[in-house]
Structure 1
Amino acid sequence: MPCNSTAPAGVHVAPFVNRREGSGDPSSSSCAPPSNSGSDAPKGRQRRTTVPERPDLPINLWSIMKNCIGKELSKIPMPVNFSEPISVLQRVTEDLEYADLLETGSKLSTLEQMCYVAAYAASNYSTTGHRTNKPFNPLLGETYEFDRMEDLGWRSVTEQVSHHPPAAAHHAEGRGWTMYQDFTMTSRFRGKYLSVIPIGFTHVVFPSTNSHFSYRKITTTVHNIIVGKLWIDNHGEMEITNHTTNEKCVLKFSPYSYFSREQPRKVYGIVRDSEGIPKYVVQGTWDKSIDMFKVASWNNNHEKPKAEIDETSLKRIWTCHPLPKGAEKMHNFTQFTIELNEPEEGVAPTDSRLRPDQRLMENGEWDEANKKKLEIEDKQRVVRRRREAEKELAMKRGDKYEEYEPTWFTRVQDESNGALIHQYKGGYWEAKERHDWSKCPDIF
């Protein structure tokens, strides 16, 4: 079946290469060699290059999933057999695998920055085509830090700030940029597929131009839950806004269809200036690469733009890192993901690396991991019931009840869109330097 590309809204774009590798199987893909792999940086500590191989243990999927139809995924107790040995906090941090795009963007004009932010946003989905297992749901108060300042030029801290609904707050800072986001989601299992709809905004700030970008993440759908080979699609429109200049880009992730002539996993977007005039086209696929082009001319129609691009201006701004050798036996992790759960000294006692059920699962001890998972979750339920009882008693007495407060984040109103977000209030790295974790709850 042909995989010809059709341009969005009349925009003339360079032809795509036919990348489909499997007949009728949209999950078939491989990444091109990276032009600059951050994980290969010569500086810093020597990090691990493998994780224990995933055991090939049979499980009756339907016996577990048949009672889950229509329910919220976060409320369904799942054995570790469906998991990968990283937490949601580590999965959120995984967005930063291509943070070098933000460092490059920090040195450019605001419109070029928009192109690089769009490429960064698309790169966040680059591993989903290979990964169909779910990360561990974090406990309330669980944290995850990743300090790559020495080799990659950035550091990141994430905290589970709410249990119902589950929500994580993430803050990262690098050379010339800051990124922060709240991550929560809704999800529904419909029998044949499972859809995950993220809620909240991702923000990127470049002090060099005073630019403040934000965007919402798109929907991810897991197909063939019961019968057939699992495969994942990312689809929807992502509007990226520079709140400082009012420049915008609508980045469209095309849904997969066997009957469509669209390139599978195609991403395209038009970058417009503050007057709504197209200046750049960004296009590619979310699992391989993203290119940018300058717009040479357009038809002056804001609703239905017909633009011509300058094909000589083609610039590849992102290329996906290849999977390491033997990745299919190691949860299809990239080299960067392999490093996420590596044991590390000096982290907070609430860090995901220290979660015992997750560590047992990574080591292949699944029976022990499932027992420990139940123990940890029971401990969490006891704490939650105690807080609920204390709140009810305080209300009966007419006393003020202090709601749960995250350790490293505080809830504020976002100036750019009015939404309530969790803002990093500082102190984590200072506490680490002092070896003072007295603020951390006992969760494991």
Structure 2
Amino acid sequence: MFIAALTSFDLPPLFNMPKSQLQCYGEAVYCIGEDYLNKCAKGKSSLERFASVVAWSISTTRPALFGQAPFNPVLGETHHVSRGSLNVLLEQVSHHPPVSALHATDATENVELIWCHKPVPRFHGASVEAVIKGKRHLKLLKFGENYEMDSPNLLIKLLPTTGADWVGDVSIRCKDSGLEADLCYYKSHVFLGFGGSSKSVRGKIFHSKTLKTIYEIDGQWDRIVKLKDVHSGEVTVLYDAKKAISGLKTPILQAPQNMWPTESATVWSEVSQAILNKEWGKASAAKQNIEEKQRKLQRERKSSGELWVPKHFTVTHTKENEWDCSPLEQSVPPAPIIVPP
């Protein structure tokens, strides 16, 4: 998914999905079957809500396709979609390095999401690992709870077999309730790169002060993940991927007059349509026009000393090259693109 963002090499359209990386980020939030996000806001106790947040975090992990990559978003590109009362807005706030910001609000459920994603490549000879820097914040405003979590990393294997999978450690913390979770995405029982149970996740939910484990987590994030109460031994289903990401509906353009020219679907429309039609020459020419326009704008900004300022987020980064994105508006307005009920 991130392979194009990890190199300065421009992939030919033959290897592109007909969508932008911003759309892929957004789909992890609004393309859902069973609504795990709303379950977070309906929990009767802090522990029930925390377990729901863990399930929702797992639900944002989607299968990665090897050999196909979305378009690298251009600087200032946006993606704005609504699903019911949930409004989602993304903006590409930096191009070099690639940094994407997300803000989503649901006034009905009193939920807010703020993400900042920056993929950083690590080369391991026969593989490339995209380390996803930045934090995800999920706020349950009704309960005054803020959950901070990481994203797993994308491992792209080149030898001896090709493939892409999510790996690494994910930490989920809620300082307000004192609960934490540690998850590990991994592939087990591997010998010389072959075999193994892929898409596995294992972890625990525990109290941050006592470090006492409350629940153990085990399963496969593309199938079933189970939750075991360590005190009673009771095992329940925490997450069911079939319910979460089946029966997904394609977003539709409801109000074209309100769509911004920076919208991903607008920026990449000609390229995407050519890819769908398998008109590779036309797709290549359209993509080159977009990239050359961006290079020209970059040269003009550099010549005039102009600094790029994102429209919807404030961006800060430290000397350690850590990035943080904060939305300028308190809530996200309804979008011209909607996910049908």
Superposition TM-score, scaled by structure 1 size: 0.65
Q: Which shows bigger deviation, 130-139 or 208-217?
A: 130-139
Give the 3-state SS of the residue equivalent to 1:161 in structure 2. Answer: strand
**Mapped pair 1:321 → 2:254:** no
CA 1:114–1:171: 2 relative to 1, 3 Å: same
Pairing 1:408–2:319 present: no
- Aligned partner of 2:89 in structure 1 is 157
State yes or no: 1:278 paired with 2:200: no
100 and 214 in structure 1: CA distance in 2 versus 1, 3 angstrom threshold? same
Paired AA for residue 339 in structure 1: T
Is there any run of 5+ residues in structure 2 with no aligned partner, and where?
337-341
Q: Residues 93-132 of structure 1: matches in 2 within 5 Å?
A: 93-96=26-29, 97-98=31-32, 100-108=35-43, 109-128=45-64, 132=67
Structure 1 residue runs of 5 or longer lacking an equivalent are: 1-67, 297-309, 324-332, 392-401, 434-444
Could you tell me how far apart the structure 2 residues matched to 1:343 and 1:103 are? 24
Aligned counterpart, 1:421: 324
Of 141, 145, 150, the residue aligned with 1:207 is: 141
Q: How many residues align?
A: 319
Question: Which of structure 1's runs of 4+ aligned residues deviate more than 6 A?
Answer: none
Q: Which residue of 2 aligns with 1:363?
A: 277
- Aligned-partner residue type, residue 424 of structure 1: P
Partner of 2:296: 382
Of 202, 211, 233, 1:311 maps to 233
Shift of 1:290: 1.9
- Cα deviations by residue, 1:113-167 (Å, 9 ceiling, x for unpaired): 2222222222222322x55411110111111011112xxx412010111111111
How far apart, CA to CA, are the structure 2 residues paired with 1:428 and 1:373? Answer: 33
Residue deviations 1:152-185 (CA, integer Å, cap 9, x gap): x412010111111111100112323211101111
Secondary structure class of the residue paired with 2:315? strand
3-state DSSP of counterpart to 2:238: strand
The 3 A distance-change label for structure 1 pair 176 and 114 is same
What amino acid maps onto 2:153 in structure 1?
Answer: T
8 Å contact 1:250–1:271 — kept in the other structure?
yes
Greater Cα shift, 138-147 or 265-274: 265-274
- SS of aligned partner of 1:103: helix
Query: Which residue of 113, 116, 124 maps to 1:179?
Result: 113
Quote the offset at 1:403 in angstroms. Answer: 2.0
CA 1:359–1:377 in 2, change beyond 3 Å: closer, same or farther?
same
SS at 1:321 equivalent: helix
Kindly provide the amino acid, as one letter, of the partner of residue 210 in structure 1: G
Deviation at 1:287, TM superposition (A): 1.0
* Deviation per residue, 1:338-391 (Å, 9 max, x gap): 625x55523211111112223322333222111110011000000000111111
CA contact (8 A) 1:73 1:189 kept: no
**Aligned counterparts of 1:89 and 1:240: Cα–Cα separation in 2:** 23
The aligned amino acid for 2:51 is: C
Partners in 2 of 1:224 and 1:420 — Cα distance?
Answer: 29
- State whether structure 2 residue 262 is matched by structure 1 residue 350: yes
TM norm structure 2: 0.83
Structure 1 residues 320 and 148: CA distance shift in structure 2, 3 A? same
Higher fraction of strand: 2
Secondary structure, in 3 states, of the residue corresponding to 2:242?
coil
Give the Å deviation of 1:190: 5.4
**How far apart, CA to CA, are the structure 1 residues paired with 2:227 and 2:110?**
22
Instruction: Please give the alpha-carbon distance, in whole angstroms, between the structure 2 residues aligned to 1:90 and 1:286.
Output: 21
Counterparts of 1:214-233 in structure 2, within 5 Å, are 214-224=148-158, 228=161, 230-233=162-165
User: C-alpha distance in 2, partners of 1:132/1:105?
Assistant: 35
- Is the Cα contact below 8 Å between 2:19 and 2:70 reproduced in 1? yes
Counterpart contact for 1:256–1:265, Cα < 8 Å:
no
Sequence identity, in percent?
A: 23
CA contact (8 A) 2:155 2:166 kept: yes
Shift of 1:411: 2.3
Letter in 1 for 2:259: V
Contact 1:126–1:320 (Cα < 8 Å) also in 2: no
State the alpha-carbon separation in 2 of the partners of residues 412 and 188 from structure 1. 23
Task: Supply the AA of the counterpart residue of 2:233.
Answer: E
Distance of 2:47 and 2:81 partners within structure 1: 30
Report what 2:339 is aligned to.
none
Query: Is the Cα contact below 8 Å between 1:254 and 1:266 reproduced in 2?
Result: yes
Which letter maps to 1:81? L
Q: Decide whether the 8 Å contact of 2:80 with 2:335 is kept in 1.
A: no
- Cα deviation, residue 412, structure 1: 5.4
| Aligned counterparts of 1:427 and 1:208: Cα–Cα separation in 2 | 15
Q: In 2, are the aligned partners of 1:348 and 1:432 still within 8 Å (CA)?
A: no
Shift of 1:262: 7.4
Question: What residue identity is the alignment partner of 1:89?
Answer: L
**Selected match of 1:339 from 235, 250, 254:** 250
Cα gap change, 1:81 to 1:181, in 2 (>3 Å): same
Alignment pair present for 1:141 and 2:53: no
* 8 Å CA contact 1:269, 1:283 repeated in 2: yes
